[in-house]
């Protein structure tokens, strides 16, 4: 029996995955790609490839769990994690369109009819923990430039303007994951952070899921995310930790620098200009924003996940020397294909948190 490649599977991948990653995935499952999504979709419209379809579905599910995420880490003891894992395991899946189509994404029309409220669509269990996967819809605004040459030749706008900027409101399906680690005293709240989403909206979504978790379990188990600000220096100064591709820092000489590596596989830590500047000062630079990329491989696939810890130039201390809310409450983890590279980055974050924790916490007991 022929099984044509599910076009909604391709369109779901297109909606979520950066082309560079998707191109690699399509080739890895044995499909030929053309230049860009349109030509590739056309070329694959009448392909019979059951193996590819199964594998693409797996990649899509993994990307839903791990791709293009804002992640907040919450310190939660054994009892709390056990209770949350149990509550998640018993939670009923939704009955709405998000759940019935999972892992496929709804098209724009169906999204408009689905409503905006989150729905539990999947519960995931593996050796690393247990997670609840939610789907929801938000309206994202994108700006597009419209050339006046595209307008009707009689339009008065053509003489008045050279370029017009339009705002497009588009419903977008997002996924969030509440992940209870089995081996660490940590619960992660991961929310999709696609291109075009503001940090403000991303933090609002995070807050929404934090409250939902607390309601599910009937207690405030997730209160304040772990402050990741100390990891900026910790990870920047560890030369074995990937490649620093961006660093923003204050200097004691009264400037703020934003340095980015443009060439791949080069590290700012070793870059002549950066090293020269750092060595010219007797005071350490004060980084508050770092992006680090790792180069890994798994099952023949090249993986290049990137972590960003984005603080502000105000730093960690207020007037009077005190510190308040977490300076960096979230990690941005992007360019992950799935659990392999995402968990690598998450483990590196947890490792640096452990190094910075003054007292040894009680050993985590496996839960879930």
Separation of alpha carbons 247 and 45, rounded Å = 44
Q: Which is nearer to other proteins, 156 or 272 (CB)?
A: 272
Separation of alpha carbons 271 and 195, rounded Å = 29
Residue ranges of alpha helices (H) inside the chain are 7-16, 19-28, 36-43, 50-66, 78-90, 97-101, 108-114, 157-160, 199-217, 230-236, 272-280, 339-356
Q: Which is nearer to other proteins, 16 or 72 (CB)?
A: 16
Shortest spacing between CB 147 and other proteins, in angstroms: 9
Shortest spacing between CB 78 and other proteins, in angstroms: 41
Q: Which is nearer to other proteins, 145 or 283 (CB)?
A: 145
Instruction: Tally the C-alpha atoms within 13 A of residue 286's C-alpha that lie toward its C-beta.
Output: 15
Q: Which is nearer to other proteins, 38 or 108 (CB)?
A: 38
Q: Which residues bind other proteins (CB under 8 A)?
A: 14, 18-20, 22-23, 35-38, 40, 145, 195, 260, 262-264, 266, 271-272
Shortest spacing between CB 47 and other proteins, in angstroms: 18
Cβ count within 10 A of residue 172: 19
| Dihedral angle over CA of 157, 160, 164, 168, nearest 10 | -40
Q: Which is nearer to other proteins, 297 or 357 (CB)?
A: 297
Shortest spacing between CB 37 and other proteins, in angstroms: 4
Shortest spacing between CB 38 and other proteins, in angstroms: 7
Shortest spacing between CB 67 and other proteins, in angstroms: 12
Q: Which is nearer to other proteins, 27 or 314 (CB)?
A: 27
Q: Which is nearer to other proteins, 68 or 341 (CB)?
A: 68
Dig out the tokens for 136 from the structure.
Answer: 């929801």
Separation of alpha carbons 167 and 196, rounded Å = 12
Separation of alpha carbons 93 and 103, rounded Å = 13
Shortest spacing between CB 75 and other proteins, in angstroms: 33
CA angle 42–45–47, rounded 5-degree value? 125
Cβ count within 10 A of residue 113: 10
């Amino acid at each position: 029996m022929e099984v044509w490649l599910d076009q909604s599977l391709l369109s779901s991948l297109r909606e979520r995955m950066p082309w560079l990653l998707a191109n690699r995935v399509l080739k890895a499952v044995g499909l030929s790609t053309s230049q860009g999504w349109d030509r590739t979709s056309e070329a694959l419209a009448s392909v019979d490839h059951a193996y590819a379809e199964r594998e693409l579905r797996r990649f899509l599910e993994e990307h839903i769990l791990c791709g293009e995420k804002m992640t907040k880490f919450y310190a939660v003891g054994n009892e709390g994690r056990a209770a949350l894992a149990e509550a998640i395991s018993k939670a009923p899946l939704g009955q709405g369109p998000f759940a019935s189509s999972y892992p496929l994404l709804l098209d724009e029309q169906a999204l408009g009819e689905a409503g905006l409220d989150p729905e539990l669509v999947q519960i995931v269990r593996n050796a690393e923990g247990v997670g609840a996967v939610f789907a929801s819809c938000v309206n994202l605004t994108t700006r597009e430039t419209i050339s006046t040459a595209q307008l009707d030749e009689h339009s008065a706008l053509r003489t008045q303007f050279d370029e017009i900027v339009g705002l497009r409101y588009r419903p977008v399906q997002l996924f969030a994951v509440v992940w209870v680690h089995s081996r660490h005293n940590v619960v992660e709240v991961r929310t999709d952070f696609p291109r075009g989403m503001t940090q403000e909206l991303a933090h609002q979504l995070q807050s929404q899921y934090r409250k939902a978790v607390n309601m599910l379990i009937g207690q405030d188990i997730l209160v304040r995310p772990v402050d990741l600000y100390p990891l900026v220096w910790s990870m920047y100064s560890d030369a074995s930790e990937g490649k620093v591709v961006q660093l923003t820092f204050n200097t004691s000489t009264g400037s703020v620098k934003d340095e980015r590596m443009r060439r791949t596989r080069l590290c700012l830590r070793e870059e002549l200009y950066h090293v020269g500047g750092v060595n010219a000062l007797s005071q350490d630079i004060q980084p508050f924003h770092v992006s680090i990329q790792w180069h890994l491989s798994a099952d023949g696939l090249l993986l290049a996940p990137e972590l960003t810890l984005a603080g502000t130039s105000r730093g960690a201390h207020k007037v009077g020397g005190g510190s308040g809310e977490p300076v960096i409450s979230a990690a941005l983890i992007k360019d992950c294909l799935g659990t392999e590279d995402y968990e690598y980055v998450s483990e590196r974050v947890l490792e640096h948190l452990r190094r910075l924790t003054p007292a040894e916490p009680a050993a985590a007991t496996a839960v879930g």
